[in-house]
Amino acid sequence: MSTTLFSEWDLEDCTQQAINELGWDAATPIQSETIPIARSGRDIIGQARTGSGKTAAFGIPMIESCSPSGKLQSLTLVPTRELAVQVTDELSRLQGDKGLKLITVYGGTDLEKQAKKLDAGVDIIIGTPGRVIDMCKRGHIDLSSPHILCLDEADRMLDMGFFPDVIWVLERMTNRSQTLLFSATFPPEVLEAAHEFIPDAEHVLSDEMELEIPEIEQRWISVGRANKLWALGRILATMGDDDQALVFCNTKRMVDMLVERLGKFRFPSTGLHGDLPQNRRERILNSFREGKEPVVVATDVAARGLDVDGVTIVVNYDLPSDPEVYVHRIGRTGRMGRDGQAWSFVGREDLDQLQKIATTWTMHIEESGPPDLPEHLDRDPVKRQQDWGEMSNVYGMVRISLDVGVDSSASSRGLSDWIVSEARLPEIAIGEIDVGDSSSIVEVHRDRVETVLDILSKRSWQGSEVNAKLVE
């Protein structure tokens, strides 16, 4: 942990007073390493995990280098509207009574009102690339004016989705003298892109980047799609009155479906994704921060910059396809030294991705069953389903055993014909058959296995019960 005190830096009185009022004494590692460099005017690529104080790391030097003139001096680009609001809020707190005019510029809000605010004068803009570019083209933002450019969550800003917009902005910032990039991750291709426009940047890697977070239990549950709701029900059933859970899905549709399903099982939850109106999203976020919402189901729009100290449980209902997204998600819990849990639901098709995540960050994610039911419950809130899809192999076949073998005159052909006849199946529904001395293993297609087990439980082979059962 850093032992550098903010008071050692001889900060501006208004900034130091604001820091004192926030109750901050010592800088975090990323702050202690980057603030002196940024105050000297050098370019920085700063890498530290989510929740480590990155906003103040670039915000304090930025505020000090700007004056309340009403002329744009600094531009910060972020990937989401939520992050724009949060960065602006923190910078407003950090400037104290300096009087800088900070404006958020993002889509989903009244364009004319935003334009009037910009025309009235602005010192620092925090915005999303699309709306910033729109306002530039309309003549409300002059990109030749600011001398500082900051990219927060820079890995996202420099990927293929935002990269063309960032380049468009860069080409027009002719007065740019300092560039600050901050993120939890910097893949090689993103670093290569960054070095194209800041070749001499100081690369600061925080000691916290090992992602060894003892307070967070990282566990994964082997579960197919049919039983994810059952596993989630177990986790939510263990929540105490002070717990809050953030559940991540990969699509907006899945968020809406899961909120509806949870409601049917009396788990109140709220969905959060990009299709919701901006004012509603902000109400949900504020309610979550105030502890009024116990469970929020979200897409990754909430993973970037969502700052809620009370989150004690994160659930990857859908495992993310990008290892970096996993880092952002689990960083939502265990904040400020609190304990936290991160659960991931992993189907057979997700195992390679889980391994990639663990290898990328050199971390141990423990395989686990879902938590035990609390004492006051005698049954699962959500009934567990028989998930044939998860039990089947890559060809869709499920293995069952029969107490029938060579000793009872069984053969592969004979067993196949008998099962097809008794269960009225097409022959293609039967896979490989391995006949042993006293028992046999038969592959049955997952769409027909339940029927086969039910029918064979009432049939006999040469007068003896076949005792059909699943092979675990």
**pLDDT for res 220:** 97
Query: Looking at the structure, do residues 206 and 231 belong to the same domain, yes or no?
Result: no
pLDDT bucket at 50, cuts 50 / 70 / 90: low
Q: What is the mean pLDDT of residues 48-56?
A: 80
- 445, part of any domain: yes
- 385, part of any domain: no
Residue 176 reports pLDDT greater than 80: yes
- 372, part of any domain: no
Query: Looking at the structure, do residues 165 and 225 belong to the same domain, yes or no?
Result: no
Q: Nearest 10 degrees: CA dihedral of 5, 6, 8, 9?
A: 150
Residue 361 reports pLDDT greater than 80: no
Query: Looking at the structure, do residues 36 and 68 belong to the same domain, yes or no?
Result: yes
| Tokens of residue 108, six digits | 């989903």
**pLDDT for res 191:** 85
The span from the CA of 339 to the CA of 303, in Å, is 19
**pLDDT for res 207:** 60
Give the DSSP H or E segment for 167: helix 163-172
Query: Looking at the structure, do residues 108 and 25 belong to the same domain, yes or no?
Result: yes
Query: Looking at the structure, do residues 222 and 189 belong to the same domain, yes or no?
Result: no
Query: Looking at the structure, do residues 241 and 340 belong to the same domain, yes or no?
Result: yes
Residue 304 reports pLDDT greater than 70: no
SS (H, E, C) 279-310: HHHHHHHHHHHCCCCCEEEECHHHCCCCCCCC
Query: Looking at the structure, do residues 153 and 227 belong to the same domain, yes or no?
Result: no
**Greater pLDDT, 351 or 73:** 73
Q: Determine the Cα angle at 278 with ends 274 and 280, to 5°.
A: 100
Closest CA to 114 of 129, 130, 103: 103
**pLDDT for res 359:** 72
pLDDT tens across 201-232, in order? 998 887 655 544 435 889 999 999 999 999 99
The span from the CA of 30 to the CA of 10, in Å, is 18
**pLDDT for res 211:** 47
- 379, part of any domain: no
**Unique residue bearing structure tokens 């098709």:** 349
Give the range of the structural domain holding residue 104, as residue numbers without chain letter: 6-210
Query: Looking at the structure, do residues 400 and 356 belong to the same domain, yes or no?
Result: no
Residue 68 reports pLDDT greater than 80: yes
**pLDDT for res 294:** 94
**pLDDT for res 213:** 43
Q: What DSSP string runs through 4-27? A: -BGGGG---HHHHHHHHHHT--BP
Choosing from 351, 367, 383, the residue where a domain stops is 367
Number of domains in the chain: 3
What are φ and ψ of residue 26, in 5° steps? Answer: -100, 145
Choosing from 210, 233, 265, the residue where a domain stops is 210
* pLDDT, averaged across the chain: 90
pLDDT bucket at 388, cuts 50 / 70 / 90: confident
Q: Determine the Cα angle at 105 with ends 102 and 106, to 5°.
A: 145
**Greater pLDDT, 360 or 464:** 464
- 339, part of any domain: yes
Question: Rg of the chain over CA atoms, in angstroms?
Answer: 28
Q: What is the mean pLDDT of residues 264-271?
A: 95
Query: Looking at the structure, do residues 227 and 343 belong to the same domain, yes or no?
Result: yes
Query: Looking at the structure, do residues 298 and 251 belong to the same domain, yes or no?
Result: yes
Strongest mean pLDDT among 51-60, 156-165, 327-336: 51-60
User: pTM higher than 0.75 for the full model?
Assistant: no
Residue 344 reports pLDDT greater than 60: yes
pLDDT bucket at 425, cuts 50 / 70 / 90: very high
**pLDDT for res 208:** 55
**pLDDT for res 456:** 93
Query: Looking at the structure, do residues 206 and 242 belong to the same domain, yes or no?
Result: no
pLDDT bucket at 2, cuts 50 / 70 / 90: low
- Min mean pLDDT across 41-50, 134-143, 255-264 is at 41-50
**pLDDT for res 333:** 84
- 55, part of any domain: yes
Residue 337 reports pLDDT greater than 70: no
- CATH code at 423? 3.30.70.330
Share of the chain above pLDDT 70, in %: 95
Neighbours of 204 (CB within 10 A): 18
Residue 413 reports pLDDT greater than 80: yes
- Min mean pLDDT across 18-27, 184-193, 297-306, 326-335 is at 297-306
**pLDDT for res 336:** 62
What are φ and ψ of residue 186, in 5° steps? Answer: -135, 90
Choosing from 187, 210, 233, the residue where a domain stops is 210
- 435, part of any domain: yes
| Tokens of residue 27, six digits | 């800088």
- CATH code at 115? 3.40.50.300
pLDDT tens across 16-32, in order? 999 999 999 999 889 99
- 380, part of any domain: no
